[in-house]
Chain A
């Protein structure tokens, strides 16, 4: 009995945690969202120095006001077809919880749309799509008038272990 109430509470909490403000952006024709608290800043595309022996979705590193931060192309990360960068292309600098501290990582997206306030009743659990699609890093789907937004758990998308694993297989 106790167990069920607890898990119910946890489920509710999980739902309410998802509620909040999201920065939405476009990738191909899909709209994605990341929690606004994760976003440090949005910058235009700038020269990227590629780093050898890293997975292809790691575009390289940039100089963000004296700090060197890695850049990840989200299209490549999601195995989507890559397109040439244009003036709509943006780098969203996000803060990722790493083992010891937080690290800054830039993600390249087609364009940045807007900041949306998403309520918990608008968020639905992620459906499963079979083995073709890993949904572990999707928080949920938000049904809005404008269509469906895919809410990303950016920490999981860019998890340290995954990149390190890829690094090893790549090298």
Chain B
């Protein structure tokens, strides 16, 4: 115990030193080495030699800093974390069975070969990299048949999950959210990889997230996640270096691993909610790991080394010596084909290097990203807007002073730019949602036995992130419907002269300030007669109702409507399209259905670009200014006196082009005061909601603009007839009218 205490103290000192350390400060390095010496000594007394090895490697690294051979301190940071993790494990008396090779690699990367310490280190590294040994160690608790690791065997009595400390909790929460993102991105890349299995860049895109998950889960003692991601990573690593080719079976296996990891991470999440470590004893990650390893082996043996092929092509070696080396590689599996070739003096190392470089000619994607909470983004948008207002006030004050107004103009340009950027930060490409659909279609087509291909366009269309989230569910429903009801079985398709494979098109584009998303299939289309029949039988319509085609199609959006003759796993429970419709309308969107019998169905979703901004018309009524959403406005006109009529001297109507339009007076409704201006002296704006038209009397049209919708705050969230507030150009708050709410007011109070 004393040793552990000493290690802990030393580590604390070390991290303090490292925290304030700058390259070139020799005295600091001196003290660091002294501490590391102590740590190595203490490490010798500890049971697993991992700690000693790590400390030793770190010391060598720090020494090299002194000799000015290296100038990075990042590896030291990583080592510190690793050492602390090992210490934690030792304290608990549990074996540390996680990867240390990453850190070791970092530490040894620029260290010169002649140093003794490095060799110790390298042997350690190969041990850790050997997947077999790795597994043996982490498998023990489950199998419990080892005689050497008695304490581990006792763990078969699954201990209850540990209670989490606040610090752990925070790290775990971060890990979960990051891992979820990572897994999603893996899924997408995997499907891309299926199309082009040799694309190293895609393999890298898959490899990196697995690597991250493996690394972090190791430090967090999430054994199963660590182990599974490790085996998967190994497989991908081989693919990355060109030793194997990811084929269909490999993709399936990796997808399975992704699903399993998702399950495990879900457990971690559940654990966090209860404040405990994950309880995942019932999930068997072991089997899948083994399966992955087996596959790995099979692929390595079955495939010729791609690196070898490159070399043969270049004429550096001949087929025979390649074969020979491949045989040798089978014997000593840990070595790479390149290493064997160099050892046998068949190829000069430089040639291997160039061949390797050729193999890895992928562009590195450099898109550094920062995660920011949406709250902060919203605040930024708010402040940017406020800046615009402050700047316009400043401009008014600066009028007359030419040099000052010039500066204000300059400021104005910056402010405008800043506002545009702030607004655009809320927008993200719809790609991520589309990509999820690929996986969905893949699974669905496997389940239903239909061959379906998803074709996408406009994945880079940018859309407000809240809308993106809201779109996911409706899209899933619609695609399910298309696969299940729309696309026919292969035989049927060939009979009707279509291609064997069904197609689903997914398109996104901007049109007139709206985002349009189309989901089209080339299946059998909607069956008008069946929909009609069904609607009559459920009492939705009467037998003698005359409906247009589009009205019939729209019937499938009614709750509880499903024409599927049999309920399948995929869809057909009669919940669906009405949910889709509600989901879209909640975001001020619109769903349209078009179908051509025998040719296919087209669903069109139109949504506002962003939920935060509306196009509005600013109007003046008396002294008050209101914003009317342009989508509701039909037209505006000045009525003739002869077209104005009253009902019982109270209700007012206007006759316009043979239609009677009831009039609303905002003042009467809102302020309970009598507004008696005759209609022919003011303007009428005709607004529509739910196929109902009414005219609103206003005094003046002030202009059209985009307005950021804001909640009225506090307790004023549900004022009838008001949708929210908007900051006007003069800095005052204007009220946005809720047309439907206004109509409801009239229908209840008058």
Separation of A67 and B716 alpha carbons in the complex (Å): 14
**Is there a chain A Cβ closer than 8 Å to B78's Cβ?**
no
B721 touches A53 (CB 8 A): yes
Partner among B719, B721, B734 whose Cβ is within 8 Å of the Cβ of A167: B719
Closest to B730 in A: A47
* CB < 8 Å neighbour of A52 from B671, B718, B731: B671
* Chain A residue contacts of B714, Cβ below 8 A: 69-70, 96, 98, 103-105, 158, 163
| Complex contact A160–B715 (CB within 8 A) | yes
Contacts A63-B731, A163-B715 known; A53 to B385 CB distance under 8 Å? no
- Taking CB atoms, residues of chain A closer than 8 Å to B711 are 68
Q: Is the C-beta of B158 less than 8 angstroms from some C-beta in chain A?
A: no
Contact check, A70 vs B712: say whether CB atoms are below 8 A apart: yes
CA distance A62 to B728 in the complex (A): 11
> B710 on the interface (CB 8 Å rule)?
yes
- Whether B735 lies near A104 (C-beta < 8 A) is no
For B21, list chain A residues within 8 Å (CB). none
**B382 interfacial by beta-carbon distance below 8 Å:** yes
Which of A58, A69, A164 gathers the greatest number of chain B CB atoms within 10 Å?
A69
Q: For the complex formed, measure the closest distance between the CB of B513 and the CB atoms of chain A, giving whole angstroms.
A: 23
Q: Can you list, as one digit per residue, whether each of A58-84 has a CB less than 8 Å from chain B (1) or not (0)?
A: 101111011111100000000000000
For B704-715 the 0/1 string (1 means CB < 8 A from A) is 000000111111
Q: Is B733's CB under 8 angstroms from A63's CB?
A: yes
Decide yes or no whether B169 CB sits under 8 A from chain A. Answer: no
Residues of B within 8 A of A160 (CB): 715
Bound Cα distance from A109 to B381, whole angstroms: 31
B386 touches A66 (CB 8 A): yes
Instruction: Flag if A51 contacts B715 (CB, 8 Å).
Output: no
Closest to A60 in B: B733
In angstroms, Cα B384 to Cα A66, docked, is 8
> A52 to B670, Cβ gap below 8 A?
yes
Contact between chains at B669 and A68 (CB < 8 Å):
no
Chain B interface residue number, banded: 20 to 34
The winner among A66, A103, A105 for most chain B CB atoms within 10 A is A66
Interface pair A164/B715, CB less than 8 Å apart:
yes
A113 on interface, CB distance cutoff 8 Å: no
What are the residues of chain A within 8 A of B731 when measuring CB–CB? 47, 63
B373 to chain A, nearest CB (A): 15
Q: Are A51 and B712 in contact (CB under 8 A)?
A: yes
| A52 to B719 CA separation, bound complex (whole angstroms) | 8
Interface residues of B in 366-397 (CB under 8 A from A): 381-383, 385-386
A158 CB, min distance to chain B CBs, angstroms: 8
- Decide if B665 is an interface residue (CB 8 Å cutoff): no
Taking CB atoms, residues of chain B closer than 8 Å to A98 are: 714-715
Q: Does B722 contact A (CB under 8 A)?
A: yes
| Contact A63-B732, Cβ < 8 Å, known A69-B713, A70-B716, A103-B713 | yes
Please name all residues of chain A whose beta carbon is closer than 8 Å to the beta carbon of B724 when the two chains form the complex: 68
Residues of A contacting B734 in the complex (Cβ-Cβ under 8 angstroms): 49
Asked if A171 contacts B720 (CB within 8 A), the reply is yes
Complex CA gap A105/B386 in Å reads 19
Q: A65 near B725 (CB under 8 angstroms)?
A: no
Whether B85 is near chain A, meaning CB under 8 Å from some CB there, is: no
Contact between chains at B727 and A66 (CB < 8 Å): yes
Does A54 sit at the interface, judged by CB under 8 A? yes
Query: Given A49-B732, A49-B733, A67-B382, are A61 and B713 also a contact pair (CB < 8 Å)?
Result: yes
Inter-chain CA distance A158–B734, complex, in Å, is 24
The one of A58, A62, A65, A167 in contact with B383, judged by C-beta atoms closer than 8 angstroms, is A65
Query: B391: shortest Cβ distance to chain A, in Å?
Result: 13
Task: Please indicate the chain A residues that have their CB under 8 angstroms from the CB of B719 in the complex.
Answer: 51-54, 167
A58 CA / B733 CA spacing, docked (Å): 15
Evaluate contact between B715 and A49: CB separation under 8 angstroms: no
Checking A50, A53, A68 against B713 with a beta-carbon cut-off of 8 angstroms, the contacting residue is A68
User: How far is the CB of B546 from the nearest CB of chain A, in Å?
Assistant: 41
Q: Are A68 and B715 in contact (CB under 8 A)?
A: no
Which residue of B is nearest A105, CB measured?
B714
Contact with A along B725-743 (1 / 0, CB 8 A): 1010001111100000000
Contact residue among B385, B712, B718, B720 (Cβ-Cβ distance under 8 Å from A61):
B712
Q: Give A171's nearest chain B residue, CB to CB.
A: B720
How far apart sit A103 and B382, CA to CA, in the bound complex (Å)?
Answer: 17
Choose from B718, B721, B725 the contact partner of A49 (Cβ within 8 Å).
B725
Shortest distance in angstroms between B630's beta carbon and chain A's nearest beta carbon? 21
> With A49-B725, A68-B711 given, is the CB distance from A54 to B383 under 8 Å?
no
Q: How far apart are the CA atoms of A49 and B383 in the complex, in Å?
A: 20
List the B side residues contacting A51 at CB < 8 Å: 712, 716, 719, 722, 735
Residue pairs across A and B with Cβ atoms less than 8 A apart, 6 shown, are A47-B731, A52-B735, A67-B710, A70-B714, A98-B715, A103-B715
Chain A interface (Cβ < 8 Å from any Cβ of B) = 47, 49-54, 58, 60-63, 65-70, 96, 98, 103-105, 158, 160, 163-164, 167, 171
Q: A47-B731, A51-B719, A67-B382 are in contact. List 6 more A-B contacts (CB 8 A).
A: A49-B732, A52-B719, A61-B712, A66-B385, A104-B713, A171-B720
